[in-house]
Amino acid sequence: MEKIVFLDSASIIAAIRRPAFAHQWQEYTATPAEQTLSRLSNATIAITNKVVLRRDTLEQLPKLKMVAVAATGTDNVDIECCRERGVTVCNIRNYSVHTVPEHVFMLMLALRRNLLAFREELRSGAWQRADQFCLFTHPVRDLHGSTLGLIGAGAIGRAVEQIALAFGMQVLRAEHKGAAAIRPGYTGFDTVLRESDVITLHLPLNAQTLNLIAASEFSLMKSTALLINTARGGLVDEAPLFDALRSHRIGGAGFDVLGKEPPRDGHPLLDLNLPNFILTPHIAWSGREAMQTLADQLIDNIEAFVAGTPQNRVA
């Protein structure tokens, strides 16, 4: 009989059905790092959203056969170790193709139209004191006619592209950074940085994408450009981002992620009180409809694995 252990069930707000085969189910709302090994000691299937499973833990779990990741990103799991040990790893695909793009455009519109700055003007009484019916204290820019740089053209990236085209934006799909050749339909990475009014990131975090956007990349962007990151905090080197925002090297940024989450010991970006920077607490993915799709696919993945036909496999 399979023993399934869900290490961090509080990370999903949805109805999670039980698999349609004989099993034991053990669920924890959250799991501290020091308890991961003991809780998985007899598990054959581990479910994790963000609990880290590294080699030193995996090598002490001889019964483990599957890691079901309750997310798309798998950077919290040692994939190579799982391959070596014959442990199947499956993730969730395409569940957030509506909710994340909506969050992207919420950030984009708020920044292009200076929503935070105008809200502050209202709080300070500037409109009430105005000599005319409207305020021209901050620029308002349309999305129509602007250029969107898309870095990452998977399912979410393509959904963002569709919305951008509906707004009348020109879309540039970025080729891989440092690529020797440019694929049809793509534009060189540096060219996308130079020509885009808004740049949005939709990539996994791995050794190749860590600090993909750093000081040299900020130096290529327009001084009015916006950077949107709803993917992973580690894609952007945060110290140069802080400097670029404070010095107005770029026009603004909308982030839903940080390099370390939650930011227990503070973070410079948490205290960056600027109207051209919006930070939300990793909620772009969390639309209720999206989370239910995730929960359903999670159990589908487990049932498919037990049936001998694993799906959404990454290892």
Catalytic residues: 232, 261, 282
Distance CA 86, CA 313 (A): 12
CA of 99: how far to CAs of 150, 220, 258, in Å? 17, 30, 19
CA–CA distance from 224 to each of 138, 247, 276 (Å)?
Answer: 13, 12, 10
Three-state secondary structure call for residue 189: helix
Calpha distance 27→280 (Å, rounded) = 28
Within 114-263, strands assigned E span: 147-151, 170-173, 198-201, 226-229, 252-255
Sheet with 277-279: strands ordered across: 170-173, 147-151, 198-201, 226-229, 252-255, 277-279
Can you give the length of the chain in residues? Answer: 315
Strand spans (E) along 107-162: 147-151
- Residue pair 53/77 in contact (Cβ under 8 Å)? The answer is yes
Give the residue among 80, 45, 51 at the shortest CA–CA distance from 298: 45
Residue 88: strand pairing partners: 66
Spatial distance between the Cα atoms of 68 and 82, rounded to a whole number of angstroms: 12
The CA distance from 171 to 163, in Å, is 10
DSSP tag of 251: S
Could you tell me if 284 and 95 are in contact, meaning their C-beta atoms sit under 8 angstroms apart? no
